Amino acid sequence: MASVGSGELQSANIFIPQEWSDAADTISYDSNTSPAPVALVCGPKNSGKTTLSRLLVNVLLQRYKKVAYLDTDVGQTEFTPPGLLSLTTIDKITSDLSIPCLKTPERCFFFGDISSKRDPKTYLACIFALYDHYRKTYLLSIGGSPGNAAVPLVINTTGWVKGKLYLLSNLFRLVWSLFFIYRICISAVSKNLPAGAFWLDDDNGAVATLIEVNSARQDSFNRSVLVQKDARLLRDLRVMAYFRQCFPSDMKITTIKELSRALAAHPPYEILISSIKIKHLHCEVPKSEVFYSLNATIVGLAVDSEDSENFPDCVGLGIVRAIDTFKHVLYVITPVPKSSLQKVDLLLQGFIEIPTCLLQVQGCTSPYMSADVLPSA
Ligand SMILES: Nc1ncnc2c1ncn2[C@@H]1O[C@H](COP(=O)(O)OP(=O)(O)OP(=O)(O)O)[C@@H](O)[C@H]1O
């Protein structure tokens, strides 16, 4: 396959400095080794980790048919709505490095929060389960053979802030087949991750190559800086883009008001309460309050694992539209296809919320969005 360098992969509003290009090309020069490379991108919040990860995926797709992407950034997810930890395979180069797009992950868990803070143990365990899935599917079964059959892995991490070093170090240690660690730095040294292989114990030999690059954005003094973004707004947009998928793409929904009304009018799925389990993550809810807490919220639609050691697979998100306690039925809106929905037997509730802007549309009465639609508890 003819190869173009990473320089040719940049998009209009994204600037790829030479340093980034060279760093990204390293992964493809060294890719003749077996097994396929595993690269992890880390650095401070808003330093460009996601943008660099997308560039790495594009560079790898010039050499490999498929690239796996392990998204550990629950607050700013790449291919899913927020609150999910996922492993996705990609087979097409992204033409615009500045925008995320929704994709159906190969494996996905509902973590149910936008940060690992509340439950770092479960967070790391989910990531390890996803990595293990990658390892068993793509490293062990194919024998790690180089070439088109091999599937490299890019891991994007959550923005590093002081106090979270143990979490990142543990994550690095879990992923034993790491080849490259891309560490993005900014000029304000105190905000950077410690230099060198900070995650290794003294007696643990370093195997991964550490590649340090500066953030691409510079101020007028040529200092590498962070680009602030409105994380909450971006999360709300991802949730709305996700539920927009409930409707055909040619249906005219261009404003929040139109989406809100379309969701209010959308026929929900009926789920018999007796056919599912309900689990609240990160908090305990008294039995008598379970339905009150579920009503008009976002839930993870999951398939309970028979093996209690495993996390339940999540097939997507749903909005609990209403609950009829007399009929023992839950009404759920979701873009998940019926075939996948039939396997769902567990609803997971966390802290992922319906965007306020969707609930506050003029003419709709929150949380039911409009009158005369469905009975509720
Ligand atoms: N090379 C670049 N050229 C232009 N803009 C960039 C570049 N790198 C990052 N940005 C912009 O900076 C902002 C932060 O980038 P990005 O989302 O990649 O950072 P991040 O480190 O992944 O953030 P987070 O810590 O929230 O996960 C975005 O608006 C992005 O478009």
Ligand 1 pocket residue status of 26, Cβ below 6 Å:
no
Ligand 1, atom nearest to 17 Cα: 1
Residue 192 has what pLDDT? 81
Least confidently predicted of 55-69, 224-238, 320-334: 224-238
Distance, CA 185 to ligand 1 centroid (Å)? 13
Least confidently predicted of 31-45, 46-60, 229-243, 354-368: 354-368
Residue 271 has what pLDDT? 93
Residue 355 structure tokens: 């965007």
Is residue 34 scored above 80 in pLDDT? no
Q: List % helix, strand, coil for the chain (3-state, nearest 5).
A: 30, 20, 50
Residue 6 has what pLDDT? 55
Residue 313 has what pLDDT? 94
Pocket perturbation via mutation, ligand 1, pick of 50, 186, 193 by most ligand atoms within 8 A of CB: 50
Q: What is the mean pLDDT of the chain?
A: 82
Task: Give the distance from CA 184 to its chain's centroid.
Answer: 20
Residue 333 has what pLDDT? 95
Residue 144 has what pLDDT? 47
Is residue 367 scored above 60 in pLDDT? no
Strand, coil or helix: 59: helix
Ligand 1 pocket residue status of 260, Cβ below 6 Å:
no
Distance, CA 52 to ligand 1 centroid (Å)? 8
Cis peptide before 268, with omega less than 30 degrees from 0?
A: no
Ligand 1, atom nearest to 159 Cα: 25
Residue appearing with tokens 């400095």 = 17
Residue 220 has what pLDDT? 67
Distance, CA 338 to ligand 1 centroid (Å)? 36
- The pLDDT of 106-119, averaged and rounded, is 93
Q: Mind listing the pLDDT tens digit for each residue in 172-228?
A: 777 766 778 899 988 877 778 777 777 766 555 556 788 999 987 776 667 766 667
Is residue 344 scored above 90 in pLDDT? yes
Distance (Å, whole) CA 167 – CA 169: 5
Distance, CA 87 to ligand 1 centroid (Å)? 21
Residue 81 has what pLDDT? 94
Report which listed range, 140-149, 190-199, 207-216, 250-259, is most confident.
250-259
Distance (Å, whole) CA 259 – CA 252: 9
Query: Are 354 and 236 a contacting pair, CB within 8 Å?
Result: no
Structural domains of the chain sorted by starting position, each given as residue range(s) with its CATH number in brackets: 6-214 (3.40.50.300), 258-359 (2.40.30.330)
Ligand 1 pocket residue status of 49, Cβ below 6 Å:
yes
Distance, CA 296 to ligand 1 centroid (Å)? 33
Q: Which residues contact 147 (CB under 8 A, 6 or more apart)?
A: none
Distance (Å, whole) CA 186 – CA 198: 18
Ligand 1 pocket residue status of 45, Cβ below 6 Å:
yes
Strand, coil or helix: 41: strand
Q: Give the closest residue to 10 by CA, choosing from 137, 84, 97, 85.
A: 97
Residue 168 has what pLDDT? 75
Ligand 1 pocket residue status of 50, Cβ below 6 Å:
yes
Distance (Å, whole) CA 125 – CA 102: 24
Query: Are 270 and 341 a contacting pair, CB within 8 Å?
Result: no
Q: Is the dihedral of CA 36, 42, 48, 49 positive or negative?
A: positive
Ligand 1 pocket residue status of 217, Cβ below 6 Å:
yes
Give ∠ CA 211-212-218 in degrees, rounded to 5. 145
Alpha helices in the chain (DSSP H): 18-29, 49-61, 120-134, 165-174, 231-244, 256-265, 290-294, 338-341, 356-359
Helix axes 120-134, 165-174, angle to 10 degrees: 20
Of the pLDDT bands very low, low, confident and very high (cuts 50, 70, 90), residue 360 is confident
For atom 25 of ligand 1, which residue has the closest CA? Answer: 45
Of the pLDDT bands very low, low, confident and very high (cuts 50, 70, 90), residue 352 is very high
Distance, CA 353 to ligand 1 centroid (Å)? 24
Pocket perturbation via mutation, ligand 1, pick of 21, 71, 227 by most ligand atoms within 8 A of CB: 227
Distance, CA 146 to ligand 1 centroid (Å)? 31
Of the pLDDT bands very low, low, confident and very high (cuts 50, 70, 90), residue 7 is low
Strand, coil or helix: 353: coil
Ligand 1, atom nearest to 216 Cα: 1
Task: Give the distance from CA 157 to its chain's centroid.
Answer: 10
